[in-house]
Amino acid sequence: MGAAISLRECVSLSGRFPLLAGLSLEVREGEVVHLRGPNGAGKSSLLRLCAGLVPVVSGSAVVLGHDLRTDRHSVRREVGLLGHSGFLYDDLSVERNVRFAVRAARADPGQVEGALRRLGLDGRLRHVPVARLSAGQRRRVSLAVLVARRPRLWLLDEPHAGLDQDGRAELDQLVVEARAAGSTVVLASHELERASAVSDRVVGLAGGRVVAASLCEGRVAGEVGSDVA
């Protein structure tokens, strides 16, 4: 399998502040990678860079075959980012939010019903404006968007935050199913045991660089990608 993400000496800035300071990482297609690190390590910046939201200042960055130095737009339709924000419209209903995101991404609208049902958002809840939902329910709506869109690359930033126990278990199951369907998943999480349990590899970040990498229990070297620290 080829590389879904290939970053070499990647530098990204916010103004003059370095977000990523020469980060190198390779993630194979179909792999699940758990990003670890303290606050400010660069986990969210790495996910945003892979989503084409953050410019690459130097180094090389190729995601799903798209060179992010020359074209950050083409990759966006193929990735699904679950960030700190939910990217939702408060005044639209749950169903309208999911339908808008799916139609905007030119995904199959036929997947919406299944996604709502999967995340427990069918029934009366589908008609409720997102503004009236709890944080956990809003998270479920954002996840429903990803499930309905079926992106090739899932970028999950603290995906367990706000979810109850059932929601967390459901999320873990979604990651397993995404991997089984051939999608690549990169998740940044402080839920160390839970995230590692569904991952092939753990990558440690600090100061905008990869500082450690290890295979998760039960995974075999050669089946997964590599990191260049």
Residue ranges in contact with another protein by CB under 8 A: 51-53, 73, 76-77, 79, 81, 83-92, 96, 100-101, 103-106, 129
Rank residues 26 and 95 by Cβ distance to another protein and give the closer one: 95
Task: Kindly state the smallest distance separating residue 145's Cβ from another protein, in Å.
Answer: 9
Rank residues 82 and 203 by Cβ distance to another protein and give the closer one: 82
Task: Kindly state the smallest distance separating residue 86's Cβ from another protein, in Å.
Answer: 5
160: three-class secondary structure by DSSP: coil
Buried/exposed 129-165: b ≥16 CB within 10 Å, e otherwise? ebeebeeebbbbbbbbbbbbbbbbbbbbbbbbebbee
Task: Kindly state the smallest distance separating residue 78's Cβ from another protein, in Å.
Answer: 8
Please tell me the distance from the alpha carbon of residue 146 to that of residue 81, in angstroms, as a whole number: 8
Rank residues 135 and 181 by Cβ distance to another protein and give the closer one: 135
Tell me which H or E stretch contains 149.
helix 135-149
Q: Which DSSP category does 166 fall into?
A: H
Please tell me the distance from the alpha carbon of residue 56 to that of residue 10, in angstroms, as a whole number: 7
End-to-end CA distance of the chain: 22
Rank residues 109 and 114 by Cβ distance to another protein and give the closer one: 109
Rank residues 185 and 224 by Cβ distance to another protein and give the closer one: 185
Task: Kindly state the smallest distance separating residue 14's Cβ from another protein, in Å.
Answer: 13
Distances (CA, A) of 216 to 60, 86, 198, 203: 27, 29, 9, 10
Q: Which DSSP category does 161 fall into?
A: T
Task: Kindly state the smallest distance separating residue 229's Cβ from another protein, in Å.
Answer: 29
Task: Kindly state the smallest distance separating residue 141's Cβ from another protein, in Å.
Answer: 11
Q: For 87-148, where are the E strands, in sequence order?
A: none
Rank residues 76 and 168 by Cβ distance to another protein and give the closer one: 76
